[in-house]
Amino acid sequence: MTADGHAASFTAAAALRALQLACDQRGLSWSGATLLGPVGDNGVFRLPLEGIVARVAWGMPALAMVERELRVAAWLAEQDLPAVRPSAAVAEQPVLSDGRVVTFWEEIPAPQLGRPADIGALLRRLHALPPPPEGMLPVFDPFYRQDSHVRDATGLHEHDRRFLLDLLEGLRAEYANLPFAHPARAIHGDPHRKNLVRDAAGRVVMLDLERFALGPIEWDQVVPAVYHLVGWYGDADYAAFVEAYGSDIMQWEGFSTLARVRQLRMTTWLAGRTGREPRLIPEALNRIATLRVPTSSHRPWTPGT
């Protein structure tokens, strides 16, 4: 168990065991359950016989976040913003199972990666919403659990680990002084192309609501910009996002610092998975090299999938 209570043993097998027990509690069939993507803080499974997607959060410390995610889903439904909804077939969520926290959600049929223009348009709608009910959302913290991810990492040289922790400390101070141009609003917190997807009907739907918070809208905008920096979006892709959203975060005076904060978050998140997935060590080292000398020529980042 790590210092913040995160079980290093949260593997695909552990997530599946918790899912099976939760399904038994709610009378659902887990036969044929399929893991969707790598296990990080959550294991996400499709239940083919139920037409439901289940999310298994890593441990009991995630309970408050999961409960908030359910409240956010209800609020977004009230605002008529297209987002994933909890399954109506499962009452009394979340389900506590084997030390994990399990929720069940409507399945998005045949989801496709969100296009940059899709992401820009949906974020613009989100950022224009009225304030959520007081107390529903926490204040956004871009550094959440990054230090523990660094501690969990394996295959890193000690000087790399020290570099990440020192950079984390320095960027905390820089972030605190950023000249954000707007008051805090509801933000998604992690609006990448797997979290804002197109369904079979072409509707753009928001997934993964657990990072919703009151924070600077610039944080949501910086994600596509960083995708552009690390080689995941071309010039046309990023231009499509900017046109759909209505402004270009790269022109903001705080962009360089905020982009570094986002890149550090992407690096520590990936590094924290290396104990379970040693194949990610080379990519973690590549990202660290980029952070050390951001103006040098490095090979593009590889998504951690």
Residues of the chain with CATH 3.30.200.20: 12-106
Going by DSSP bridges, is the β-strand pair 42-47/34-35 parallel, antiparallel, or unpaired?
Answer: antiparallel
pLDDT value of residue 279? 93
Query: What pLDDT shows up at residue 1?
Result: 36
pLDDT at 119: 96
Distance, first Cα to last Cα, the chain: 24
- In this prediction, residue 5 carries a pLDDT of 40
pLDDT at 136: 94
- How confident is the model at residue 37, as a pLDDT? 87
CATH architecture of 12-106: 2-Layer Sandwich (3.30)
Closest residue by Cα to residue 40 from 53, 63, 56, 52 = 56
Tell me if the pTM is above 0.85.
yes
User: Which tens digits make up the pLDDT trace of 169-197?
Assistant: 999 999 999 999 999 999 999 999 999 99
H-only helix segments in 108-202: 116-127, 146-152, 158-176
DSSP string, 37-97: S--SSEEEEEETTTTEEEEEESSGGGHHHHHHHHHHHHHHHHTT--B--B-TTS-S--EEE
| pLDDT at residue 4, as a whole number | 40
CATH topology (fold) of 116-292: Aminoglycoside 3'-phosphotransferase; Chain: A, domain 2 (3.90.1200)
- Looking at residue 9, its pLDDT comes to 77
Residue 57: its pLDDT value, please? 96
**Residues of the chain under the 50 pLDDT cut:** 1-7
**What is the phi-psi region of residue 27: left when phi exceeds 0, alpha when psi lies from -120 to 50, beta otherwise?**
left
